[in-house]
Amino acid sequence: MTPKKKGEDNIMGKVAIYPGSFDPITYGHLDIVERALEIFDKVIVAIADNAEKRPLFSIEERLQMAKIIFKDTPNVIVDSFKGLLVDYVAKTNAKVILRGLRATSDFEYEFHMASMNRSLNTHLDTLFMMTSKDYFFVSSRTIKEVAKLGGGVEGLVPDLVVRRLKEKFKLPVTKKKQIGWDD
Ligand code: PNS
């Protein structure tokens, strides 16, 4: 290992790539980014443009939502990528792929992905951050399912995403259906 010269890390700063489908972006994602900014100088939110996954929101819609959400966070860059993640990372000065880990059920998929990425590029590492307890049950998939059936997802995704989900599923924008214990 070549020893780093003093201050070398600070020349370009520590950059992490946070890749995902973000279909749509949730407070779980935002929580990871916020905490990652305590460790990294810059976080690149890299939205995968993979039509095969048949996303609910187009890549343009996902990019637009994320750009609005992070518009006041200068150390966050929102971008999209096609093809292999490692090829995208190689075009940046990042050495770390960041992923959130919710439960043991996430582990196998994440382990395979991180191992594959590492075998494709041995200079890259994947760093996992545990999702905060408030969001460990939140996934883009369940958010879409609940929203489609008219359930309330307020507090789990940013307000902008709540509105976009309602538009997508043609639900009344004012509708709030969150059932409390007393109902
Ligand atoms: O939010 P997701 O859907 O779990 O994110 C998965 C994502 C986009 C990070 C992953 O599918 C990916 O990196 N896709 C790009 C294609 C690629 O590099 N595949 C090889 C990794 S096994």
Q: What is the residue-level pLDDT of the chain in tens, covering all 183 positions?
A: 555 554 444 445 899 999 999 999 999 999 999 999 999 999 999 999 998 889 999 999 999 999 999 999 999 999 999 999 999 999 998 999 999 999 888 899 999 999 999 999 999 999 999 999 999 999 999 999 999 999 999 999 999 999 999 999 988 875 455 555 444
Single-letter code of the amino acid located at 66 = A
Nearest protein Cα to ligand 1, atom 16: 84
| Atom from ligand 1 closest to the CA of residue 22 | 1
CB 62 within 8 A of CB 27: no
Check 14, 102, 118, 166 and give the catalytic one.
102
Query: CA–CA separation, 149 vs 157, rounded Å?
Result: 16
Check if the beta carbon of residue 30 is closer than 8 Å to that of residue 73.
no
Ligand 1 atom closest to Cα of 140?
Answer: 1
- In whole angstroms, give the CA distance from residue 174 to residue 177: 10
CB–CB of 13/41 below 8 Å? yes
- Catalytic pick from 62, 140, 144, 164? 140
In the prediction, which pLDDT does 8 show? 47
pLDDT for the residue 12: 59
Tokens for 120, please give them: 């494709």
Q: Are 123 and 95 in contact (CB under 8 A)?
A: yes
**Is 113 near ligand 1, meaning CB less than 6 Å away?**
yes
Q: What is the number of residues in the chain? A: 183
- Distance, CA of 154 to CA of 70 (rounded, Å): 18
Which residue spans within the chain are E strands per DSSP?
A: 15-20, 42-48, 76-81, 96-101, 125-130
Best CA proximity match to 166, nearest among 158, 177, 175, 157:
175
Q: Which residues contact 60 (CB under 8 A, 6 or more apart)?
A: none
- pLDDT of amino acid 183: 41
Does the Cβ of 19 fall within 6 Å of ligand 1? yes
Please tell me the distance between residue 55's alpha carbon and the centre of ligand 1 in angstroms: 13
What is the per-residue pLDDT for 172?
Answer: 80
Distance of CA 36 to the CA centre of its chain: 12
What whole-number distance in Å separates Cα of residue 114 and Cα of residue 178?
37
Asked if 112 is an active-site residue, the reply is no
Record the tokens describing residue 141, joined without a space: 């998939």
